[in-house]
Structures are given as structure tokens and as C-alpha cells.
């Protein structure tokens, strides 16, 4: 297990870890289809998520050329519109940009600011460059640098995505900490030699018994207490 003194830079996953992606998508779906009840919104959210996950899998398998998150979100919005009978083009277009309007978790802004006082902090996200710029502004996330998987032409857990952060950090991977609410993401980071910290969120992918991450915390306040104690 790493000690805090061994960490020189901290990299955060964004979607799900720093912002409530499912919650933000639900809000956008309710706005687009106001007559939908909670069960219907849940179904439409599943339609959206399954499409994006399936297409990312196809890209990883080289069955489809890389397409950024803006393209996948637009496809997901169109698929949702088909299921919901939504024909208002403006409503579909706004729904397609829902990924730019995701609320931060309660501890995200303060935790990020506190860690940024001690470390270079970077965001590393599946969101496209354009989406990430607007999402950071919407959620109030202030990074020293925000990196999009678009720059690697791949999605995590492809190693080239994590290498974007390592290149920006400019220090050995064992001195760079990856923070995520998704165990699969942290496994990808470990595979390139990064330190890892799992942060528990209401959404995400919890660790397996075989995972050996450097830290597991219930929120960013706990991580701050470990990495940047007062």
C-alpha cells in the first residue's frame, strides 16, 4: 500500500466519480419526456446507458472506429426518442447534450479544491473535449488540467488513455494516484503502474475481493484526510 508522501499528482475519473451521471441523465430525460413516470424514465435511462456501453465495447473490439462521447450521446438520445415517441427535434438535440449538465456530488467541489492546494489535480474522462469543458463549468470542477479520452482516440481501460495523464503529470506512474468510483477503471490504472484509490458512490462499480487498491474511502473528505491532512 502506498503512503501519501509517495503521491505527486492526483488524477480523477469524472463521470460517476465527481458528478452524478445517472442522476443528471434522469433529470434530462424527465425534461425531454415530462409525461414519463419514474419507471418509464428508468427504462429510458437503461436504453441510453446500454447503447453507450455497447458502442464503447464495439470501439474497444475494433468493430467501430473511435467516436467521441458527443457522437455516442447523440445516438443514445435518438434511440431514447424512438422508444419514447419524442419527435420534437429541439428537445432531442438538447437531450443529446445532457452529458454537459451533470450535477457534482456534494463533496466533489470542496474535496477537489482542498487536494488542489497540495497536488496537481487532473481530470481524466470519457467525455469529449467539448463536453468536458462545459461539464466542468456546469459542475464547478476546477482542475489544473482536464484530459479527454478523445485525445487518445480510445476509452478507458485502454492503457493509452491513462498515459495521457501520466504524460501530463510528468512523473513515474507509481507516484500518480488514480481516483475513481469504478473498480474496472482502477484496474486499468493499476495495469500501467498507477496508484489507485476507490471512492464509494451511490453509482459505480465496487471492488471485488481480489482487488488490491491502495485506498478505499467513503468520500472525498476521507481521501483528503489521508492525502492532505491539516
User: What's the rounded Cα separation, in Å, for the pair 84 and 89?
Assistant: 13
Answer yes or no: do 132 and 59 share one domain: no
Q: What per-residue confidence (pLDDT) applies to 1?
A: 47
13 & 41 share domain: no
| pLDDT of amino acid 145 | 98
At 170, is the pLDDT very low, low, confident or very high (cuts 50, 70, 90)?
very high
Reported as a pLDDT band with limits 50, 70 and 90, residue 229 is: confident
Where is the domain boundary, 34, 66, 100? 100
Domain CATH number, residue 83: 1.10.150
Query: Do 110 and 135 sit in the same domain of this protein?
Result: yes
Q: Which three cell numbers stand for residue 142?
A: 476546477
Q: Are 214 and 3 in contact (CB under 8 A)?
A: no
Residue 3 pLDDT class (50, 70, 90 cuts): low
User: Among residues 83, 100, 117, which one ends one of the domains?
Assistant: 100
Residues 123 and 217 in one domain: yes
220 HSE (CA, 13 A, CB side): 24
Residues 200 and 107 in one domain: yes
Where residue 172 sits, what CATH number does that domain have?
3.40.50.1000
Judge if 125 and 212 occupy the same domain. yes
pLDDT digits (tens, 9 = 90+) for 27-54: 999 999 999 999 999 999 999 999 999 9
Please tell me the predicted confidence (pLDDT) of residue 42. Answer: 97
pTM: 0.95
Mean per-residue pLDDT for 13-37?
97
Domain of residue 79 covers 21-100
For residues 121 and 221, state if they share a domain. Answer: yes
Does the pLDDT value for residue 186 go beyond 90?
Answer: yes
DSSP label at residue 182: B
Question: 123 forms bridges with which residues in the sheet?
Answer: 12, 146
Q: Counting beta carbons within 10 angstroms of the beta carbon of residue 30, is it exposed (0 to 12), middle (13 to 18) or buried (19 or more)? A: middle
Quote the number of domains for the chain. 2
Task: Identify whether residues 77 and 91 lie together within a single domain.
Answer: yes
Amino acid at each position: 500500500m502506498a503512503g501519501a508522501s509517495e503521491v505527486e499528482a492526483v488524477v480523477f475519473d469524472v463521470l460517476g466519480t465527481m458528478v452524478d451521471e445517472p442522476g443528471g441523465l434522469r433529470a434530462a430525460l424527465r425534461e425531454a419526456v415530462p409525461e414519463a413516470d419514474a419507471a418509464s424514465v428508468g427504462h429510458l435511462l437503461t436504453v441510453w446507458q446500454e447503447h453507450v456501453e455497447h458502442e464503447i465495447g464495439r470501439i474497444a473490439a475494433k468493430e467501430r472506429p473511435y467516436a467521441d462521447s458527443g457522437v455516442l450521446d447523440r445516438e443514445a438520445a435518438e434511440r431514447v426518442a424512438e422508444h419514447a415517441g419524442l419527435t420534437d427535434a429541439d428537445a432531442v438535440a438538447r437531450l443529446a447534450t445532457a452529458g454537459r449538465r451533470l450535477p457534482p456530488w456534494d463533496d466533489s467541489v470542496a474535496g477537489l479544491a482542498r487536494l488542489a492546494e497540495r497536488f496537481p489535480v487532473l481530470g481524466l474522462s470519457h467525455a469529449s473535449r467539448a463536453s468536458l469543458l462545459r461539464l466542468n463549468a456546469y459542475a464547478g470542477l476546477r482542475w489544473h488540467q482536464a484530459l479527454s479520452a478523445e485525445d487518445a482516440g480510445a476509452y478507458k481501460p485502454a492503457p493509452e488513455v491513462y498515459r495521457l495523464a501520466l504524460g501530463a503529470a510528468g512523473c513515474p506512474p507509481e507516484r500518480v494516484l488514480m481516483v475513481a468510483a469504478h473498480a474496472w477503471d482502477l484496474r486499468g490504472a493499476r495495469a500501467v503502474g498507477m496508484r489507485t484509490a476507490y471512492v464509494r458512490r451511490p453509482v459505480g462499480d465496487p471492488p471485488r475481493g481480489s482487488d488490491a487498491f491502495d485506498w478505499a474511502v467513503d468520500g472525498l473528505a476521507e481521501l483528503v484526510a489521508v492525502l492532505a491532512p491539516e
